[in-house]
A and B are shown apart, each in its own frame.
Chain A
C-alpha cells in the first residue's frame, strides 16, 4: 500500500524521528546546557556532607533521598529552557501548524531532555552513591529507579515548562507548580532504593515507577501540547 493512503496518525513516525534527530543535534551542539545539570548535581551532593556532617553511617542512611532530591532539582532547573528558545524564535508556533499532532513534538523534546539530563544523571548516580557511602545493595536499584523516574520527571516538567513559556522570569513559578506533581515519583523512587538497601524486594516500587512513566508518557505530552497552545495566545 502506498504511503499516501495511510492515515495521518501513522505518518507521525517520520516527523517524530526527524524532530528527535534535530533536537538531539541542537542539544549536543550546546555542550554547556548538558554539562550544567550534571555539574549542579555533583556540586550540591558534594556540599551536602559539608552541611550534615561526613559520618559514613549518617550519609549512607540519607543517600537515597539526597541523590533523588538533587536529581529532581537538577531536572527542574534544566527544564525551564525546554521550549524557551523555540518560543522566542517562533518555531514553536510553526510546530503547532504542522500536520502531525503537537503531542509528538512535545514527546520528542521531552525525550531529548531526558537523553541529555536524566540519562547521564542516572549513569552518574552509582559514583555519587559511592561518595555518599551508599551500601552496595542499593546501586542497581538506584540506577534503575533513576532511569525510570527521571523520564517521568522530564515528561511532567514539560507540562509546567509549556504553561510558563510565555512568562518572563518563570523559573520560580515553574518550580512551584511542578514540584507537587513530582511527589509520587520521589516517594516511590526513594522507597525502592531504601527497600533495596534494607534488603527487601523492591520490584513493586519499580513497577509503580514504570506505571507512572507509562501514565506520564500517555498524558503529559497531551497536557503540554494544550499548554503550548494556551501560551501562544498570550
Chain B
C-alpha cells in the first residue's frame, strides 16, 4: 500500500498532475537558495589568501560541475530503468535530462576557463579533469544527436538509453581524474569522509549554492519532463482536458 505512489509515478498522466504542485515550491526553494548563496559567497565570504577575489567563481563552477556529472547518472539510470521495465516516463526523464546536463557541463567548462585566466594565466590547458569534462560534453551531445536522428520516438528512446549506459563507463574516470593525474587542476576540496580542506566561512555559502543548484536542477528537469509528456501524449484525452483547463 505504502508503495502505491511509487508505482503511480510511472504513469505520465499521474506524474503530470502530481508534479504541477511541486514546481512553485521547487522554484521558490532554488531561487531563495541561489540568491542567499550568491549574495553570501560573492559579497560576504572572505577573500582567498592566494587567489584574491577570483576564487569566487567557485560558487558557480563547482555546483555546475557537480550536477553535470550527477545529471549524466540521472540520464543513464532513467534510461536503464526504461530499457529494463519498459517505463514510458523514465525515457521521457532521460530525454529531458540530456539538454540540461549538456548546458550545465558547458557552464562548468566556461566558468572554469574564466577562472583559469586569472589563476593559471590561461583559458585552456589539456589537463585531465578539463579534458574529461569536455568528453562528458561530447557524450551528452552524442546522446542529443542520436535522439534527433531517429524518426520513431520509441526507437530513439531505446537507442539513447543504450548509448547513455555505454557512456557511463567514462564517468568514474572523470570523477577520479583529479586524484589519479595530479596536474594543474586542484584536487577535490569537499570530502564527505575526511575533514574539509576549505574554510567554513567559504564552505557554507558553497554548500548553499550546491543545494540551490540541486533544487534548480530538479525544477528544470521536472518542468522539461512535463512539457515532453504533453508533447508525446497530446492525442490523449487527459492532455486535451489538462490543456483545456489551463487555457
Question: Which residues of A are interface residues toward B (Cβ below 8 A)?
Answer: 159, 163-164, 166-167, 170, 173, 176-177, 179-181, 183-184, 215, 219, 223, 226-227, 230-231, 233-234
- Tell me how far the C-beta of B67 lies from the nearest C-beta in chain A, rounded to whole angstroms: 19
Among A159, A177, A223, A227, which residue has its beta carbon within 8 angstroms of that of B145?
A: A177
Return chain B residues, CB-CB under 8 Å to A170: 149
- Per the bound structure, the CA–CA distance linking A219 and B135 in Å amounts to 21
Q: Are B162 and A226 in contact (CB under 8 A)?
A: yes
Q: Are A184 and B146 in contact (CB under 8 A)?
A: no
* Chain B interface residue count, Cβ-Cβ cutoff 8 angstroms: 25
17 contacts between A and B (CB under 8 A): A163-B146, A164-B146, A164-B149, A166-B150, A173-B149, A177-B145, A180-B138, A180-B142, A180-B170, A181-B169, A183-B135, A226-B83, A226-B162, A227-B162, A230-B159, A230-B162, A233-B155
Q: Which residues of B in the span 142-158 have a Cβ within 8 Å of any Cβ on A?
A: 142-143, 145-146, 149-152, 154-155, 158
Q: Are A176 and B141 in contact (CB under 8 A)?
A: yes
- Tell me how far the C-beta of B175 lies from the nearest C-beta in chain A, rounded to whole angstroms: 14
Q: Which interface residue of A164, A167, A230 has the most chain B CB atoms within 10 A?
A: A230
Closest to B128 in A: A187
Question: Which residues of B are interface residues toward A (Cβ below 8 A)?
Answer: 83, 135, 138-139, 141-143, 145-146, 149-152, 154-155, 158-159, 162-163, 165-167, 169-170, 173
- Per the bound structure, the CA–CA distance linking A226 and B152 in Å amounts to 17
Return chain B residues, CB-CB under 8 Å to A226: 83, 162
- Per the bound structure, the CA–CA distance linking A179 and B159 in Å amounts to 17
- Per the bound structure, the CA–CA distance linking A177 and B150 in Å amounts to 14
Q: Are A163 and B159 in contact (CB under 8 A)?
A: yes
Q: Are B162 and A177 in contact (CB under 8 A)?
A: no
Return chain A residues, CB-CB under 8 Å to B154: 233
Q: Are B138 and A179 in contact (CB under 8 A)?
A: yes
Among A184, A215, A231, which residue has its beta carbon within 8 angstroms of that of B159?
A: A231
Q: Are B151 and A176 in contact (CB under 8 A)?
A: no
Closest to A160 in B: B163
The verdict on A176 contacting B135 (CB below 8 Å), with A167-B150, A184-B170, A223-B162 known, is no
Q: Are B155 and A230 in contact (CB under 8 A)?
A: yes
